[in-house]
Amino acid sequence: MKVNTTPEAGALAPTHYPRRSQLYRQHVIAGARFEEVAGSVVVAEYIDKTDEAQQAAKLALVDLSTLSRVGFKGAGAPDWLEEQGARLPDSPNRARRQGDGSLIVRLSTDEFLFLCDLTSDSTFTARLWDSWSFQSTKGVYPLPRADSHCWFALTGVHAPTALAKICGIDFHTHRFSKSEVAQTSLARVSAIILRDDLATTPCFLILSDVSSAEYLWDALMDAMLEFQGDAVGMVALRTLTTN
């Protein structure tokens, strides 16, 4: 994993990179320190906050929108993906971890979403994109989810209760299992929500139309206020993953 940890990392700016989050201006205003991960710039932490890992264990929101993701759909998608070495979930609305740490989310019988691991070390998503071609891959169509969808993580023991304020599904961990997926309305916008815990900390990955990124971020931040939730960076997620 390529991560800038030198003192110069504090000078990294999203505007130096071709892909940036729709929320980067908000992160700058909030005092974000950015780092480079596998060619993308992400929020490492916020300089005026302390113990972000502890915050994330209670309730926190993280912007993952610059990390790698891609989709494929079509009648030929399941067979082709298995030929490429993918281990597919057995049924729709389930996710499955791959050998390199990436996730495959099965949205329907023949539609799939691929998410890199949170360190962006995984290479399977990029390899699949490179393997596809219009001429040789029949009945399979790529979906550029990095362009169409924003990506957030809502973490912590209070995350299910916060989600209940803006969504009708019960996300409490005794009702919504690990690797379960919901395609639902969140704060009145369509969203894909996947439970993918960080070791023992509940974590919900949220993807929605990129045009809703700022609105949905604000709605989630507002839903967290009652439980003293806050935004954190990738350092906190990595800390929880290894604990």
pLDDT > 50? residue 8: no
* Phi, then psi, of 219 in degrees rounded to 5: -65, -40
Contact in structure between 55 and 235 (CB atoms under 8 Å): no
101 Cβ contact partners less than 8 Å away, ≥ 6 residues apart: 116, 117, 119, 121, 122
Beta carbons of 70 and 142 less than 8 angstroms apart: yes
**Residue boundaries of the structural domains of the chain:** 73-111+119-142
CA dihedral (62, 1, 19, 34) positive or negative: positive
Q: Please write the tens of the pLDDT for every residue from 43-81.
A: 999 998 889 999 999 999 999 999 989 999 999 999 999
User: Residue 228 — pLDDT band, cuts 50, 70, 90?
Assistant: very high
pLDDT at residue 148 is higher than 70:
yes
Q: Tell me if 110 sits within 8 A of 178, measured CB to CB.
A: no
Res 127: pLDDT: 85
**pLDDT at residue 9 in the model:** 42
Q: Is the pLDDT of residue 125 over 90?
A: no
CB 42 within 8 A of CB 23: no
Average pLDDT, the chain: 91
Residue partners of 18: CB distance under 8 A and separation at least 6: none
Q: Is the pLDDT of residue 7 over 80?
A: no
SS3 18: coil
pLDDT digits (tens, 9 = 90+) for 152-183: 999 999 999 999 999 999 999 999 999 999 99
| Token pair in block for residue 75 | 């009648």
pTM: 0.92
Residue-wise pLDDT tens digits, 105-118: 999 999 999 999 88
